[in-house]
Structure 1
Amino acid sequence: MASKVIHAIYNDDDILMNAVKKVRAERHHIEEVYTPFPVHGLDKAMGLSDTRIAITAFLYGCLGLTVAITMMNFIMIEDWPQDIGGKPSFSYLENLPAFVPIMFELTVFFAAHLMVITFYLRSKMWPFKEAENPDKRTTDDHFLMEIGVHGNEAELKELLLDTGAIEVTVKEKNA
């Protein structure tokens, strides 16, 4: 990683999108883009790969279904079978229709809660973590593109000003 970064501030999301495309076309690595709201298509323009959180959601749902089946079999069939309304609980398959809502609810519960935890851990957003926003204006109405400097500072500044940046500054990287 670079020890210096260039922060280019933009005041319009369309100008930012065009700037990201031009900077990537010039083969510069964009380290991060800070925006006050989600910008549609920015991830594709930056060349970010697709997320794999759907795969984890499926695996977490399978885990929830497994827990539900195991729990209901143990509680209702093996540990404490009960005669409810004259219908004895001697086998799991005889009572399966009554267990379907519980299986569905635990599948959704595990998938949702574990996906949120995975998202926070993957994003490195733990409790009491300080914000890493380099410029407070990006929480209101400005956009910031952060690019690593590798000995091409003057060329990069000129390129960013040509793309419509309203402010370009060079800063030390907070590694």
Structure 2
Amino acid sequence: MSNKVIYAIYNDDDILMDAVKKTRAAHHHIEEVFTPFPVHGLDKAMGLAPTRLAICSFIYGCIGISFATWMMNFVMIQDWPQDIGGKPSFSYIENMPAFVPIMFEMTVFFAAHLMVITFYMRSKLWPFKEAENPDVRTTDDHFLMEVAVNDNEEALVSFFQGTGAVEVKVIEKH
């Protein structure tokens, strides 16, 4: 199997969207698409599965509200009960209305921070990671589609030239 890929470079997002649809219709495997800004509908055109990060966020929020409930019960009721404003400290349920802002903030805190960590781990981004951008123009005004080559190099080059690519390059990946 070849380690070659084709870089088809486009200068318009609408042309890129049409090219992605034509490429998928021709049953060519799109490795990645690099764009200078988010292109609406590109994930659906590429056939990517929907993200499950929202499920993680819900779970992290549940962890946050559970931690907040445990923390407030332990600190304010069990460990060091205090009479604040004449409110009794006999049970957590009697004092829960006063704890609602803390529960909300801890839910948001846990969900937000753990989501950032999950996103970085899932996308393999971390400090000092080398950029994987194959062409520096994709950070400015060009779009790049990377497609695997399977012994059909000449046919793919002519196919992508027909889709409106301004430049088509065959690259040996290592």
Aligned to 1:87: 87
Deviation per residue, 1:95-131 (Å, 9 max, x gap)? 0100111001000110011111111111110111010
Aligned to 2:15: 15
> What SS is found at the alignment partner of 2:65?
helix
Residue 25 of structure 1 and its aligned partner are, at CA, apart by 0.4
> What SS is found at the alignment partner of 2:54?
helix
Moved over 4 A (4+): none
Q: Unpaired segments of 5 or more residues in structure 2?
A: none
Distance in 1 (CA, whole Å) between partners of 2:2 and 2:80 is 64
Deviation per residue, 1:64-95 (Å, 9 max, x gap)? 00000000000000000011122221111110
> What SS is found at the alignment partner of 2:169?
strand
With structure 1 as the length reference, what TM-score do the two structures score? Answer: 0.97
Aligned-pair identity (%): 75
Distance in 1 (CA, whole Å) between partners of 2:33 and 2:105 is 38
- The count of residues paired between Structure 1 and Structure 2 equals 174
Deviation per residue, 1:20-62 (Å, 9 max, x gap)? 0001100000000000001010000000000001100000000
Distance in 2 (CA, whole Å) between partners of 1:133 and 1:66 is 41
Distance in 1 (CA, whole Å) between partners of 2:144 and 2:32 is 8
Deviation per residue, 1:123-144 (Å, 9 max, x gap)? 1101110100000000000000
Distance in 2 (CA, whole Å) between partners of 1:115 and 1:24 is 32
With structure 2 as the length reference, what TM-score do the two structures score? Answer: 0.98
Distance in 2 (CA, whole Å) between partners of 1:89 and 1:79 is 11
* Aligned residue runs from structure 1 range 1-175, under 5 A: 2-174=2-174
